Structure 1
Amino acid sequence: MQNIKFLILRFSSIGDIVLTTPVIRNLKAQVEGAEIHYLTKPQFSSILEDNPYVNKVHVLKDAFGDTVEELKYEHYDYIIDLHRNIRSARFKRRLKIISFSFEKLNWEKWLLVNFKKNKMPNVHIVDRYLDTLKVFDVKNDNKGLDYFIPVKDEVDIQTISEELKNGYVGVVVGAYHNTKKLTKNKLISICKKINKPIVLLGGPDNKEEGEEVKNAVKERIYNTCGSYNINQSASLVKQANVILSPDTGLMHIASAFKKKIVSVWGNTVPEFGMYPYLPHTDSEIMEIKDLNCRPCTKIGFKECPKKHFKCINDLDEDYIVNKISDLY
């Protein structure tokens, strides 16, 4: 049988790409002869490099036309658009291939942000992604998210400290937007109360803050922010006993490994449909539900528009710490 070639479009970011992995797996498993290619930004291609269900990863080139020419050469049968923005629309117009796009529900999100009227369906974004495959009779296998770490990126935890071989709490320091993450003072206070070894997780942008938290806490804490690439950070997530994370990419990677997750929510809300997908069943979401200014945006801000940042500052630290202790 001749292969059926699919091109999946999702350009960014870490968590969003991880959330598309059930589409990749189910399409590959349930459509006979499916050959799956994926187009994303260069900085995110490593997330997919060891995924056995992806035949080829393409990255956006500096010149739009160069990317188009590369894709035309592949002679795809279908496009699965899981980004649905102006850029993906341009690719679909130029490639002139039958395409299926997921519903972003921007109107419903706008109502929730601006009028606090929740018209969002009680459906996770993973299932909305999978809806694009209905025409191929693809169904959700309910196996959750995937993350495949290349052997070269597996981290021996004892190279950080012998203390960590018996377990640790992974604490995610950063998020792309400040209003989604714990403040530095909140992080310090929580970490001081956690009576277990801690590994701080994050990218280069979080390295300085991680050092400040580490220096303030002093004992049983290790800052890995900026010292490891995304696959290596995923390895650290995989080996943790518990993960404390805001609504960010490493939270979704933790879900892929069925980790026990304590997720903390600032300006965004789980109702947007991007809460941890099929993580360990003991995982818990922490949020201030009765705050009438949440959600203040569907993405995030540099600082709280109201200046009080109650969605994070009012989170019960002792409850978070006790939950981490219970899950450990």
Structure 2
Amino acid sequence: MRRPIKILILQFTSIGDVVLTTPVIRCIKQQIPNAIVHFCTQQSYRSIVDYNPHIAQTHYSNGSLVKLIKELRAEQFDYVVDLQNTFQTRLIKATLGCRSYSVAKQPFREWLYIRWKVNAMPEQHIVDRYMAAIQPLGVENDGRGLDYFIPYKDEVERDWLPETHQNGFVAYAIGGQSPTRRLPVLRMIELCLKINYPIVLLGDEADRKRGNDIVKALGERHIYNACGQFNLNQSASLLQQARVVFSHDTGLMHIAAAFRKKVYSIWGSTTPQFGFYPYKTPHVRLETPSLGCRPCSATSSGNCPMKHFKCMNSLPFDFEVKELRAKKKFE
């Protein structure tokens, strides 16, 4: 009988980044005989990983790195897979003292792209960079995309929605890590008018006021503001039920990709060239072409450094949502 192989995966960064690790988790579990996969992340992302059947045990950071390292050392891992490659994760790897594999970062290329607008970024999705990190383990990408697992208790029933949205809706994730990742509210209203179909707005409590402003402009018959009304898994359930999904560059975009939804992804200060576009799902990129100041950040920035915010204010809505043809639209 083969000895179990204990493998720890590290990813602390964000909701989207945790979702993007799921192909690595699945492929390791299914391709390495006797693999026991542990996953370590922030406590706030618990709902994403607790229901993943490929994970045997989870470990959560609660603020004390010393306590976390002590907990991890007791497991005596055979391998560590570092999908973040930061000072914190390098410290954890060094302390655990076992063989490790890390995602390759591109700091110089990112600097060139942001500072001088020289795009030397590899034409490679971040998931494929994750998979490249574990090739020495003999693990290959199975091409099945992302995973997201919703517990039964968080599945949203259609009759929880307004009657106007029970026969079909578009989901629009209006959140964003910073203002430069979000359309201004007036442009969100313009986008909703362009979509011209019952829309469920998704986001957290911080997005609720923006959602209310959209409802005030367009009416409750057309817009249901679900921001702050559902937990993350329930929001995922709504994404799963949507006909199509519109999303800023945010974690819900990647959750939608996990359900193979067609995603209309909206890009402002960041660009898809950093490798975080919707993975293995049909998608349309909405961005302002040939704008010399983009990108101004690899992740996000608080406000437009040029003060004009053209990346969002001038973004053209010249798309057609073919999936909504012959469907009931706004009256």
The match for 1:264 is: 266
1:212 Cα shift?
1.3
Alignment of 1:49-198 (within 5 A): 49-198=50-199
| Alpha-carbon offset, residue 194 of structure 1 | 2.9
Greater Cα offset, 160-169 or 200-209: 160-169
Q: Say whether residues 1:17 and 2:18 are aligned partners.
A: yes
Distance in 2 (CA, whole Å) between partners of 1:74 and 1:242 is 43
Given that 1:242 and 1:327 are in contact with CA atoms closer than 8 Å, whether structure 2 keeps it comes out as: no
* 1:262 and 1:320 in contact (8 A); partners too: no
**Is residue 205 from structure 1 mapped to residue 206 from structure 2 by the alignment?**
yes
> Superposition pairs for residues 265-304 of structure 1, below 5 Å?
265-279=267-281, 281=282, 283-304=283-304
- Amino acid of the residue matched to residue 161 of structure 1? P
Q: Secondary structure at the match of 2:134?
A: helix
1:214-236: CA deviation from partner (whole Å, max 9, x where unpaired) = 11111321001011111111111
Matching residue of 2:309: 309
* Secondary structure of the structure 2 residue equivalent to 1:222: strand
**What SS does structure 2 have at the residue aligned with 1:179?**
helix
The CA distance in 2 between the partners of 1:142 and 1:298, in whole Å, is: 26
Q: Helix, strand or coil: the match of 1:215?
A: helix
Shift of 1:43: 0.3
Cα deviation for residue 143 of structure 1 reads: 0.3
| Contact kept? 1:268, 1:297, Cα under 8 Å | yes
Q: Which letter maps to 2:43? A: P
* CA RMSD after TM alignment: 1.5
Distance 1:327 1:13 in 2: 38
**Distance (Å, rounded) in 2 between the aligned partners of 1:7 and 1:274:** 23
Q: Verify the 8 A CA contact 1:158 1:164 in the aligned structure 2.
A: no
Question: Secondary structure of 1:93's match?
Answer: helix
Query: 1:70 and 1:314 mapped to 2: Cα distance?
Result: 50
Q: Which residue is equivalent to 1:35?
A: 36
- Structure 2: distance between partners of 1:26 and 1:239: 27
Contact residue 12 and residue 41 of structure 2 kept, 8 A: yes
Q: In 2, are the aligned partners of 1:169 and 1:198 still within 8 Å (CA)?
A: yes
Question: Given that residues 240 and 256 in structure 2 are in contact (C-alpha distance below 8 angstroms), is that contact kept between their aligned partners in structure 1?
Answer: yes
Displacement of 1:321 in angstroms is 5.8
The Cα of 1:58 is off from its aligned counterpart by 0.7
Q: How many angstroms apart in 2 are the aligned matches of 1:322 and 1:257?
A: 18
- Could you list the structure 1 runs, at least 4 aligned residues long, displaced by more than 3 angstroms after superposition: 320-328
Q: Distance in 2 between matches of 1:198 and 1:216?
A: 13
1:302 to partner: Cα distance: 1.8
On the 8 A contact 1:12/1:44 being kept in 2, the answer is no
TM-score, normalised with respect to structure 1: 0.96
Give the letter for the 1:291 counterpart: L
Q: How far does residue 162 in structure 1 lie from its aligned partner after superposition? A: 2.5
| Displacement of 1:62 | 2.6
- Which residue does 1:6 correspond to in 2? 7
- Pick one of 239, 250, 253 that aligns with 1:251: 253
Matched, 1:230 2:220: no
Query: What is the rounded CA distance, in whole Å, between the counterparts of 1:326 and 1:121 in structure 2?
Result: 37
- Alignment of structure 1 residues 206-221 onto 2, 5 Å: 206-218=207-219, 219-221=221-223
Q: Which runs of 5+ in 1 are unaligned?
A: none
Q: Which residue of structure 2 lines up, in the alignment, with residue 44 of structure 1?
A: 45
Percent identity of equivalent pairs: 43
